[in-house]
Amino acid sequence: MIRITAIFVLLPALLIGAAVVSAQDRTLPSVKRRTDGRTANNPDTDWRKHMAGVCRADSEPVGARVLRDYGSIFAADRSVTPPPVCVFSSEREVSDFQASVKTRTENIGGVNIELQAAAMDALSAAISQAAERGLRISPRGGAIAGKRSFGDTLRLWNSRFIPALNYWVARGRIKKKVADAARKMPVIEQTEQVLAWESEGLFFSTGKDRSILTSVAATGTSQHLSMLALDVAEFGNSSVRRILNDNGWYQTVADDSPHFTYLGWADADLPNRGLRLVARGGFSYWVPEL
């Protein structure tokens, strides 16, 4: 009788366990997993609902691009806080969000990097594991490799937007009056205007041959605003990438190879989080399955 009772108690527990641990994970016990039972608190539908709620991809072209290009961040495990909006629209909105989450600052390679605490914990573990193997993991491009302010993203956007706008005005492709109005637009409207011009072949990248979004995030959309991203100097080293991946850090923005995002999950879990792996130029990126 005791044995039968044990089966009735244990069997459902085993079935629940099997449901939350993917088959691939169970065959890879050596992979360091960071899910720690968080799966139960973070069902797949949670982040999809959140993502769809904040980005309204069906009606807003900018929302659709943010989701496609940077949407993986919404799949991060709930030890961290994903962005509460699709596009931050002001410095105040960014600083309020940044002040509302638990963060930790570490000096990495002589640069102070501030990230959400769980993301920094995972990064510190990766740095220690790399050091054991004689490898370094360090920020690329100074302190903005980690946290950015709204003003940082505005400056980066304007470094591409303003010269390209002047370029197309000088060539008579955009009227000066229209360009001047675009300069004064709120960020989302301005990004929509640029995407509309680009759909007519007037590109805003540095070389005027590709979308501005291939070289810079739209103002207020960078994953760095959420303190869940780090640009890594050693991104070209496959052992470094593996160590970062084993600690929940992944490349998630196609073609932005130095850029890593904290997702927390083991890579075997990522397809269950709505992400798919794409190979580009020798790198592998986890992007949203849309």
Binding window for Zn ion (CB under 5 A); candidates: 67-75, 206-214, 259-267, 277-285? 259-267
Please state the closest distance from residue 240 (CB atom) to Zn ion, in A: 16
Any contact of residue 69 with Zn ion (CB under 5 A)?
no
53 neighbors 71 (Cβ within 8 angstroms): no
Cβ distance to Zn ion smaller for residue 54 or 145: 145
Q: What is the DSSP letter of 103?
A: E
Cβ distance to Zn ion smaller for residue 32 or 210: 210
Cβ distance to Zn ion smaller for residue 65 or 259: 259
Binding window for Zn ion (CB under 5 A); candidates: 104-112, 186-194, 232-240, 254-262? 254-262
Please state the closest distance from residue 103 (CB atom) to Zn ion, in A: 17
Any contact of residue 259 with Zn ion (CB under 5 A)?
yes
Binding window for Zn ion (CB under 5 A); candidates: 169-177, 178-186, 229-237, 267-275? 229-237
As a whole number of angstroms, the distance between CA 127 and CA 260 comes to 14
Any contact of residue 241 with Zn ion (CB under 5 A)?
no
Any contact of residue 231 with Zn ion (CB under 5 A)?
yes
As a whole number of angstroms, the distance between CA 221 and CA 229 comes to 12
Helix/strand/coil percent split, the chain, to 5: 50, 10, 35
CB atoms within 10 A of CB 180: 11
208 neighbors 171 (Cβ within 8 angstroms): no
DSSP secondary structure letters along 151-179: HHHHHHHHHHHHHHHHHHHHTTSS-HHHH
Please state the closest distance from residue 25 (CB atom) to Zn ion, in A: 28
Binding window for Zn ion (CB under 5 A); candidates: 56-64, 67-75, 171-179, 258-266? 258-266
Determine the Cα angle at 124 with ends 75 and 232, to 5°.
70
Any contact of residue 148 with Zn ion (CB under 5 A)?
no
Please state the closest distance from residue 156 (CB atom) to Zn ion, in A: 10
Tokens of 26: 């169970």
Query: Which residues neighbour 49 within 8 Å (Cβ) at sequence distance 6 or greater?
Result: none
Q: Contacts with Zn ion in 90-109 (CB under 5 A)?
A: none
Q: Which residues bind Zn ion (CB under 5 A)?
A: 231, 259
